[in-house]
Amino acid sequence: MNEVISVSGLVKTFGRTRALDGLDLTVRPGEVHGFLGPNGAGKSTTIRVLLGLLRADAGSSRLLGGDPWRDATTLHRRLAYVPGDVTLWPNLSGGEVIDLLGRLRGGLDPRRRDELLERFELDPKKKGRAYSKGNRQKVALVAALASDAELLILDEPTSGLDPLMEEVFQECVRDERGSGRTVLLSSHILSEVEALCDRVTIIRKGRTVETGTLSELRHLTRTSIRAELAGPPDGLADLPGVHDPEVKDGTFKCEVETARLDTLLRRLTEIGVRGLTSQPPTLEELFLRHYQDDLNGKGASTGSSGARDAKAGSR
């Protein structure tokens, strides 16, 4: 077991609400792992269980080789956490909070701290109550990034940052990966996850619905095809795996399940292709598909079989 985080069958209920319902999550050493899900899916609850702030009702969870509840204090010295909603002590300055959190964690690198303050353009002299949401988040980010923790747990860390700072954040996370740290990044911002993450776990209603590398996940979804054809597009629409076919002035457009792509391409070349554009699925489409499954009500079955496929594929 050398995984940094390994969670399986995690269950957490609050009264009648089942916040986590058999959730699985595996994070390997040195990877940036994207943790995706709509609001209320259970991302923050999972993180709180991993931090030993909540006690799980069932399932197993290991963090850095220890038990997140029993060994909380010793494990916490090896990780740094940035909450989604950062509140600071109103009469402590930002600089004081950064140093304090660092010391509570067992030390931080003063050079790196100053460098990060500069990169994030953060004034450390302001009092906690005077910072805006984005600046409060920067305080927590600097404190976490300047630590020498082996694992960073970031819960929607950029929701208050402007696009420029978002860019700085992405650079910093790439640096962290370069220096061998493991990052669990929970996020809403799909472009961010796409840009940063090696592997992704998508959860919905407290369950894992997809997990794997981005390319594995892409494999499970559809590619958009737009082809200018030499002949009539006979039979294309009836091919297995082709969705939303559309023919207009000799141009054929459709979405095709990525696994069935070659069947379609073979048929297209038989007809004769004058021009072809193909667009791989974006993470957004991947993500939205699970929403759509929800909306269409057929949902969970395709979702969880997808997850199994992806896991099988990644092993």
Which residues are at the interface with other proteins (CB under 8 A)? 44, 48, 51-55, 72-74, 76-77, 79, 81, 83, 85-101, 103-106, 124-127, 129-130, 140, 153
Nearest distance in Å: CB 52, other proteins: 8
Nearest distance in Å: CB 152, other proteins: 11
- Measured from the CB atom, the residue of 86 and 242 that comes closer to other proteins is 86
- Measured from the CB atom, the residue of 70 and 298 that comes closer to other proteins is 70
By the 10 Å C-beta count (0-12 exposed, 13-18 middle, 19+ buried), 138 is classed as buried
Nearest distance in Å: CB 213, other proteins: 28
- Measured from the CB atom, the residue of 49 and 225 that comes closer to other proteins is 49
Task: List alpha helices for 156-259, DSSP H.
Answer: 163-178, 190-196, 214-219
Length of the chain, in residues: 315
Nearest distance in Å: CB 96, other proteins: 4
- Measured from the CB atom, the residue of 57 and 309 that comes closer to other proteins is 57
Nearest distance in Å: CB 134, other proteins: 14
Distance CA(49)–CA(6), nearest Å, equals 12
- Measured from the CB atom, the residue of 6 and 13 that comes closer to other proteins is 13
Nearest distance in Å: CB 94, other proteins: 8
3-state secondary structure of 135: helix
Strand partners, 253: 226, 246
Strands (E), 2-134: 5-14, 17-27, 32-36, 58-63, 79-82
- Measured from the CB atom, the residue of 124 and 160 that comes closer to other proteins is 124
Distance CA(48)–CA(130), nearest Å, equals 27
Neighbours of 60 (CB within 10 A): 11
Nearest distance in Å: CB 169, other proteins: 18
By the 10 Å C-beta count (0-12 exposed, 13-18 middle, 19+ buried), 8 is classed as middle
- Measured from the CB atom, the residue of 87 and 279 that comes closer to other proteins is 87
Q: Half-sphere exposure (CA, 13 Å, Cβ side) for 225?
A: 30
Distance CA(82)–CA(157), nearest Å, equals 6
Give the DSSP letter of residue 66.
B
Q: How do strand 199-204 and strand 32-36 relate by DSSP bridges?
A: parallel
Nearest distance in Å: CB 14, other proteins: 9
Distance CA(205)–CA(183), nearest Å, equals 23
- Measured from the CB atom, the residue of 113 and 205 that comes closer to other proteins is 113
